[in-house]
């Protein structure tokens, strides 16, 4: 009985390893809707409003159903800021954008004969935040994602996914008295935005 179990495990692993062509490269075109997030800082607060997010990436497939991808995505949005009195301090000047440059790792589940392959992934990189008043700044960013890849008989496939993206933004400084004197520390706030999207993939080795 144990030999049959080991044989079944080996068979499943061999099928999973062939779910994607090792060494192939895909061009991925992204489109999705990213929902808003409220950011609190002391008694002030602001929003990263919802909007359409788009971009492109190159995905390279590794053994054992894994892949790495370098991608760029952009979210054109509004960034209203509010004082403690709930008055918007940047009314009429709140348009902005977030440019994500991320290196992702993804694992696909399923066999080579399956048309629908579930997947999970995560990545990290930078977010370039464009604001009308402060210009642009570069910050640490990360994301997690999950979805399903729907294969066709051609080199084209469609991915349906959900994602959570975050960036840490410097918003000011705090000062503390220490035994060596006054020490300044940069204050950061983090955004957390959930989104739903689709990816059109073109495989260069089919």
User: What domains sit in the chain, N to C, each tagged with a CATH number?
Assistant: 2-203 (2.40.160.20)
Give residue 45's pLDDT.
87
Is residue 178 within 8 A of residue 152, CB to CB? The reply is no
Number of residues in the chain: 206
Report pLDDT for 58.
97
Mean pLDDT by 10 residues, the chain (206 residues): 45 43 88 94 87 97 92 95 86 90 95 86 96 83 96 91 91 50 58 96 81
Whose tokens are 């497939």? That residue is 61
- Beta partners for 187? 172
DSSP secondary-structure letter at 88? B
**pLDDT on residue 189:** 84
> pTM of whole model > 0.75?
yes
**Owner of token pair 């991915």:** 159
Quick check: 36 and 16 in contact, CB under 8 A?
A: no
Alpha-carbon distance values, 127 to 122, 150, 163 (Å): 15, 29, 16
Q: What is the pLDDT of residue 4?
A: 43
């Amino acid at each position: 009985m144990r030999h049959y179990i080991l044989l079944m495990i080996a068979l499943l692993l061999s099928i999973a390893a062939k779910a994607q062509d090792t060494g192939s490269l895909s061009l991925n075109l992204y489109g999705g809707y990213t929902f808003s997030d409220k950011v609190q800082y002391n008694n002030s607060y602001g929003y990263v409003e919802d909007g359409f997010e788009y971009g492109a990436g190159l995905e390279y497939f590794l053994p054992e159903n894994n892949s790495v991808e370098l991608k760029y995505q952009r979210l054109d949005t509004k960034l209203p800021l509010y004082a403690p009195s709930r008055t918007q301090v940047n009314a009429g000047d709140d348009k902005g954008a977030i440019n994500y440059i991320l290196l992702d790792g993804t694992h696909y589940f399923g066999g080579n004969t399956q048309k629908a392959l579930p997947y999970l992934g995560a990545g990290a990189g930078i977010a370039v935040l464009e604001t009308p008043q402060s210009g642009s700044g570069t910050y640490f960013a990360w994301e997690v994602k999950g979805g399903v890849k729907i294969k066709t008989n051609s080199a084209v496939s469609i991915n349906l996914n959900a994602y959570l993206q975050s960036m840490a933004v410097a918003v000011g400084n705090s000062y503390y008295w220490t035994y060596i004197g006054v020490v300044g520390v940069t204050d950061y706030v983090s955004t957390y935005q959930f989104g739903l999207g689709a990816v059109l993939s073109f495989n260069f080795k089919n």
